Amino acid sequence: MNFFLETLIGGLLAGTMYSLVAIGFVLIYKASGVFNFAQGAMLLFSALTFVSLHEQGVPFALALLLTLLVMIIGALLIERLVLRPLVNRSQITLFMATLGLSFIIEGLAQGLMGAQVRALDLGIEDIPLFVGEVMISQFDLIAAAVAAVLVALLALLFNRTRIGIALRAVADDTRAALSIGINLNRIWQIVWAVAGMVGLVAGLLWGARQGVQFSLSLVVLKALPVLIIGGFTSIGGAIVGGLIVGAAENLAEAYIGPLIGGGITPWFAYFLALVFLYIRPAGLFGDRAIERV
């Protein structure tokens, strides 16, 4: 029973790390209907920028601030140079633009800051906590707390600020939002900047766990089943989706893995996502598309 509980709790906590990545996708998808393939590259770029600055002797807080600034400038440039010229193009065109963007950002990151693996110490001691005989990772607990704070802040932004209301208006109906004078370009700038900040938080936590290196950009693969299960348009959905994926893949690896040769975590999450697609195509909390026919 202890083993089951430990696997379940460990999985749920690991899932919040996936949710952090998924939230970045949700933000951009909500505002523009675009699946931002470059989210992983943004995560890599932000973590690399932070580590490079910190290695140069820039204090932790200042490095964090400067990285935020870099991500905001990056967001403004992406909006101006990539998205604005493509306004009114189809969603697949915008998706392809983000695909190209991901390669450019990855190349730039490695070209400017080097390809070597860097250690990232956030000062979080990963000494396990024991509740009875159940072991819980301190690092995962902190990551979960960070995710909770992030979701609360984003909820405040969306529900209690004028910018948030404008964002929701664009997400609900872009044309109606435009007709009442909401500046779409500005909204996109803000959303990409916020997604960049979320990418920074996710990049730092994932970077602390596995080192800051190219494979950080592959973390997005973990977010896809989370999005399918939770829905592409719901931040709460990203959290719930992350918890489901984390718990399910850990339990499956522990109990089903040994029966079929193991190593099932990467595909089991996608298998689960497929099952959800059959039952709830828009995900648990995603907006269902209702169209007049």
Partner 1 sequence: MTLNATLKHSATALALALGLYSALPQPALAAATEQFFPLATYRVGAYASSGIPVWAGMIDYLRYINEVEGGINGVKLVWQECETEWTAEKGIECYERFKHGLEGAPVAVYQPNGAPAAYALGDKAAADRIPLITLGYGRTEATDGSVFPYNFPAMLTFYSEASAFINYVAEREGGLDKLKGKKIATVYHDSAYGRETQAPLRLLAEKYGFENIQIPVADPGNEQASQWRQVRQLKPDWVFLRTWGVSTPVAIKTAARFGYPVDHIIGDIWASSNEDVLPAGEMGKGYLALTPYPGGASFDIHQRIKQHILDQGKSDLKDPKSFGSVYYNSGLVNAAIAVEAIRAGQKKFGNRPLNGEEGRWGLEHLNLDDARLKEIGFLGLMQPLKLSCDDHEGGGAAKVQQWDGKQWNLITDWVQADRQTLRPLIDAKSAEYAKEKGVQARKCAVEQ
Contact residues for partner 1, defined by CB under 8 A: 3, 6-7, 10-11, 14, 17, 107, 110, 114-121, 126, 128, 135, 137, 139, 206, 209-215, 218-219, 222, 249-250, 253-254, 257, 261-267
Instruction: In whole angstroms, give the CA distance from residue 62 to residue 33.
Output: 34
- Which C-beta is closer to partner 1: that of 174 or that of 213? 213
Q: Smallest distance, Å, CB 10 to partner 1?
A: 5
- Which C-beta is closer to partner 1: that of 242 or that of 286? 242
Q: Smallest distance, Å, CB 59 to partner 1?
A: 19
Q: Smallest distance, Å, CB 147 to partner 1?
A: 15
Instruction: In whole angstroms, give the CA distance from residue 293 to residue 277.
Output: 23
Instruction: In whole angstroms, give the CA distance from residue 36 to residue 102.
Output: 9
The residue written with tokens 């870099």 in the block is 70
Please return the burial class of 30, using the count of CB atoms within 10 Å of its CB with bins 0-12, 13-18 and 19+: buried
- Which C-beta is closer to partner 1: that of 174 or that of 265? 265
Tell me the C-alpha to C-alpha distance, in Å, between residue 169 and each of 26, 166, 177, 188: 15, 5, 6, 13
| Listed residue (12, 29, 85, 75) closest to 227, CA to CA | 29
- Which C-beta is closer to partner 1: that of 12 or that of 64? 12
Q: Smallest distance, Å, CB 285 to partner 1?
A: 24
Classify the C-alpha dihedral 191-197-200-206 as positive or negative. Answer: negative
- Which C-beta is closer to partner 1: that of 264 or that of 284? 264
Q: Smallest distance, Å, CB 18 to partner 1?
A: 9
